[in-house]
Structure 1
Amino acid sequence: MSITLEVGLLSGRTVTVDADENEEVRTLKRRAELSLGVGSGRLLGSSGTVLDASSPIKRARLQNGDALTLQVHSVQIQAARNGFAAILGDGTVVAWGMLTWGMKHDESSAVQDQLKNVQQIRASQRAFAAIIGGGSVVTWGSAAHGGDSSPVQDQLANVRQIQASDGAFAAILGDGSVVTWGSTAFGGDSRRVQDQLKNVQQIQASGAGAFAAILGDGSVVTWGSAAFGGDSRPVQDQLKNVKQIQASKGAFAAILSDGSVVTWGSAAFGGDSRPVQGQLKHVQQIQASFGAFAAILGDGSVVTWGPSAPGGDSSAVQNLLKPM
């Protein structure tokens, strides 16, 4: 039996598409994409739910005259050490790169049927973690680097954000709690601070193996490798009213509400800002390289610190880094 459906974009453009009830939703979707002249997207039913592309139209309970929405997104790519994973416009995932560590499309085939309506992907060095539309998580790649989330899978519900170090992942749930997995050496075990991880607003990770979480009251909780920022106790009394945290490979820099900056972690990666501390006032933004930091001040000038090789010494261009 043939039915007629209206398919529209968020911009308001619509087309009328005929379809047979025995066809798969993907056939209807492709027909609508061609008619609208857009790339691959995902179809939403009249209630706003994403339609399974592999489902027959009849099973999707589409009725003659239904108004559907075609949601088109640009491709999003996440990089691991030796591979990539891309979220396509229709919410599915393609991965490529080295055959090992789950960096190739074939290697993610074990979870491919779960990789639908993907919202976000994060990567450790050798594994990927994807947030699905309902807030669940799918992982693949090296188990030693977080590619196996089965020990905590039942806890990974209503996930709203994931961050990754080189070998572990940390997920913020809808209630503000945190679930971690992967290598303990890279921050995959947060049990030491689990009772403190409440009302978490943001998590940042240093690649070498530590995490820092900003709580709702502006305080900070850290865990993972102490040498690379997992132990913030030396500066804990300063970490109040924190607005933003950035991380290099082995250190963290936090901007406080008064525009000052607190740093911790390995000095070899920018964890010691004392040489420029007097200049770090009215800081608006911080960026991190592999081993150094750069702060933009309120007057537009720039202050840098950390080893010179990764950019911690900006003296050669400091005369150019001044507001016009």
Structure 2
Amino acid sequence: MSKENKAKKSRVSILGLLFGNRKKQLSFLEEEQLQSPMRTVIKNFVANKVAMVSLIIFLIIFLSVLIYPAVNHIDLTYQEQTQQNVAPGFNMMKVPKKLQGNIKEISVGSTFSVGVSNDGEVFVWGKTKITSVIDVKDIPENMGKVVQVAAGADHVLALNDQGELFAWGNSRNKQCAIPENLKTVKNIKRIYSGFQCSAAVTEDGNVYFWGNTGIIDFKIGEYQGQIDKIAINSQGVLGLTKDGQVVSLTANELAFSRIPEEMGKAVDIALTAQTGAAVTEDGKVYVWGNKTKTIHEGETLEGVVSIEGGRYHYTAMLANGDVVAWGHDDFGQSSVPSKVNKANVTTVYTGYYQNYAITDSGKAITWGLKGYILGTDNYGRDVLSRIMHGGRMTMTIGAIAIIISVTIGIIIGGVSGYFGGKVDMILMRIAEIVYALPFLPFAMTLSAIIGNKINETQRIALIMVILGLLSWPGDARLVRAQVLAERNKEFVTAARAVGVRQKGIIFRHIIPNVVSVIIVSATLGFASAMLTESGLSFLGFGVREPRPTWGNMLNGCQSSTVILQYWWRWVFPSIALGLSTISINLIGDGLRDAVDPKANER
């Protein structure tokens, strides 16, 4: 072989060695000679499939609980009794295919809707299960041809073409018990369902009301025989007389009982939870009561022919066929889709957080609350939102606690291991005393004594400090052992010889050489701190309601009723906590194996 070919082959070999273009894979010891220790650790960790999958899972959870709360803020005071314990899913406004194109009318309940076709057939959809044994989807048989339906919070009324009334659903407060004197009435004009109550208005202006009169103190008085239509919410009843006068039909003084005197003759009325509204004969809208957000008044909205009220919003039809909505828009219930006003809408049905616009072809266009991806809790709060905000709180407490613990552990362990002797003996005895303290009883006692004397922010800070101050002995022992192994090596002797101060030797020379072991310990300690915080909150000694953490979310799921019927309230927080802690532990195991790859051989 010529000298030129030998030189060329030699250059190729060197380039292949440098840039990885070699056929033969180097052994671990050969690679270790070419790579830095950190690169070796990273490569070993990446090669561990279980650790990498765990890292991906943890990063997904971590980024979710970091980004979601920043985008979607939570109202800690929010409660909604009409949305309590709603199961996961997005079928609240999923109109049955058999009903689409043949809709006569629709009525909206709290978490379900009821529709009747032009043929008189009744359909129920949405979250229809009221209790473990009551489901409003269980429609009574032999009702005949139904012409009207009315959905309440937990029950349904139906009227057939013979003037007969039917009711089903929850009747604990007699809202489904049709009065005997109404069973013989055949001139019912309109039926209504509300929160634990029902009502009917006859052609001659009489109103029949039954159900929970403890919540709504119904009082018709002098207006009996004059009522054209009524509106019901969870507190009271508003009536519209045949001569266009808006009147309160509740004995109690409510926010919407003070009806404006200057609005004139009304043609339609509606109620939300806190306000009343009326459309006058000249097409103007008047709203009164506890108005918490921007509401269209009579001078800003004209040409209205009808109005419908939801829980906290209104929907109105204009004379030109357009549909407008205003009020709260938490679930998009006030954001009318552009396709609604492009279609020929004839009627709009609104209730709670849902809207249905019926076109001239009998089809429904929907907008509003479709459901909850992970359901709601016993206060009607979105479980997904609370899991995300609770995860941020749990991880924050765990992270800060482990930072405190590791910091103290490095300082005490480093000093103890380097100096030895009496210093080592004193510091290790202190560590043993702290380690011997019964953690949970101590934390619970301290929380009970001090917890009620400080605000919630200070309480959270106290939990972080307690977790950190009581968790450092293990880290200190680990660091001490590593420092004892490193302090007599050549680089430490060299540092002493050139006059480096003892503080610098410990924290600038020895500790960086054992940082990989500290990282592994901190990773495993992070999962332990999260579990400890969750345990304290679960027992009621940690972060308290309404501020969410994964621990206190599980605190309200201890009854057998919740475990059996409302499984989503404990399953999803448990999965989030379990996945996080297991993935962190597996990451820690992967780091430990990467730092000491020969450990698996021993």
TM-score range, shorter chain: 0.5 to 0.7
Structure 2 match to 1:152: 220
The separation in 1 between residues aligned to 2:204 and 2:267, in whole angstroms, is 20
In the TM superposition, residue 306 of structure 1 has moved relative to its aligned partner by: 5.6
Gaps of 5+ in 2: 1-143, 373-602
- SS in structure 2 of the partner of residue 201 of structure 1: strand
- Counterpart mapping for 1:54-65 below 5 A: none
In the TM superposition, residue 138 of structure 1 has moved relative to its aligned partner by: 1.4
The answer to whether the aligner puts 1:134 opposite 2:190 as a matched pair is no
C-alpha contact (below 8 Å) 2:228/2:241 kept by paired residues? yes
C-alpha contact (below 8 Å) 2:333/2:369 kept by paired residues? no
- SS in structure 1 of the partner of residue 249 of structure 2: strand
In the TM superposition, residue 97 of structure 1 has moved relative to its aligned partner by: 4.1
Which amino acid is 1:212 matched to?
Answer: A
| Matched positions, count | 224
Higher strand content, 1 or 2: 1
- TM-score using structure 1 length: 0.53
In the TM superposition, residue 139 of structure 1 has moved relative to its aligned partner by: 0.9
C-alpha contact (below 8 Å) 2:164/2:183 kept by paired residues? no
Identify the match of residue 241 of structure 1 among 303, 306, 312: 303
C-alpha contact (below 8 Å) 2:157/2:192 kept by paired residues? no
The separation in 2 between residues aligned to 1:281 and 1:224, in whole angstroms, is 29
- Counterpart mapping for 1:1-324 below 5 A: 74=146, 76-87=148-159, 90-105=162-177, 108-109=179-180, 111-112=181-182, 115=185, 117-146=187-216, 148-149=217-218, 151-182=219-250, 190-196=256-262, 198-206=264-272, 208-227=273-292, 232=295, 236-257=298-319, 262-270=324-332, 273=335, 284-285=344-345, 288=350, 290-291=352-353
Which amino acid is 2:284 matched to?
Answer: S
Distance of aligned partners of 1:138 and 1:304 in 2 relative to their CA distance in 1, 3 Å threshold: closer
In the TM superposition, residue 121 of structure 1 has moved relative to its aligned partner by: 1.5
Which amino acid is 1:143 matched to?
Answer: T
The separation in 1 between residues aligned to 2:205 and 2:334, in whole angstroms, is 38
Which amino acid is 1:130 matched to?
Answer: A
Distance of aligned partners of 1:93 and 1:239 in 2 relative to their CA distance in 1, 3 Å threshold: same
The separation in 1 between residues aligned to 2:359 and 2:152, in whole angstroms, is 32
Distance of aligned partners of 1:177 and 1:293 in 2 relative to their CA distance in 1, 3 Å threshold: same
Q: Which moved more, 1:159-168 or 1:83-92?
A: 83-92
In the TM superposition, residue 169 of structure 1 has moved relative to its aligned partner by: 2.3
The separation in 2 between residues aligned to 1:169 and 1:77, in whole angstroms, is 19
The separation in 1 between residues aligned to 2:160 and 2:279, in whole angstroms, is 31
In the TM superposition, residue 224 of structure 1 has moved relative to its aligned partner by: 4.1
Structure 2 match to 1:320: none
The separation in 2 between residues aligned to 1:240 and 1:93, in whole angstroms, is 37
The separation in 1 between residues aligned to 2:196 and 2:327, in whole angstroms, is 24
The separation in 1 between residues aligned to 2:359 and 2:176, in whole angstroms, is 43
In the TM superposition, residue 266 of structure 1 has moved relative to its aligned partner by: 0.9
The separation in 1 between residues aligned to 2:222 and 2:147, in whole angstroms, is 29
The separation in 1 between residues aligned to 2:306 and 2:287, in whole angstroms, is 14
Distance of aligned partners of 1:94 and 1:293 in 2 relative to their CA distance in 1, 3 Å threshold: closer
Which amino acid is 1:180 matched to?
Answer: S
The separation in 2 between residues aligned to 1:259 and 1:99, in whole angstroms, is 39
Q: Deviations for 1:145-184, whole angstroms, at most 9, x for unmatched residues?
A: 44x43x3322232222222223432222110112223497
Gaps of 5+ in 1: 1-71, 311-324
In the TM superposition, residue 137 of structure 1 has moved relative to its aligned partner by: 1.0
C-alpha contact (below 8 Å) 2:284/2:299 kept by paired residues? no
- SS in structure 1 of the partner of residue 222 of structure 2: helix
The separation in 1 between residues aligned to 2:299 and 2:223, in whole angstroms, is 32
Structure 2 match to 1:61: none
Q: Which structure: larger Rg?
A: 2
Which amino acid is 2:179 matched to?
Answer: S
In the TM superposition, residue 126 of structure 1 has moved relative to its aligned partner by: 1.0
Higher helix content, 1 or 2: 2
In the TM superposition, residue 76 of structure 1 has moved relative to its aligned partner by: 4.1
Which amino acid is 1:83 matched to?
Answer: H
- SS in structure 1 of the partner of residue 238 of structure 2: strand
Backbone CA RMSD of aligned residues: 4.2
The separation in 2 between residues aligned to 1:113 and 1:246, in whole angstroms, is 29
- TM-score using structure 2 length: 0.31
Which amino acid is 2:152 matched to?
Answer: A
Structure 2 match to 1:31: none
The separation in 2 between residues aligned to 1:143 and 1:172, in whole angstroms, is 21
Distance of aligned partners of 1:296 and 1:130 in 2 relative to their CA distance in 1, 3 Å threshold: closer
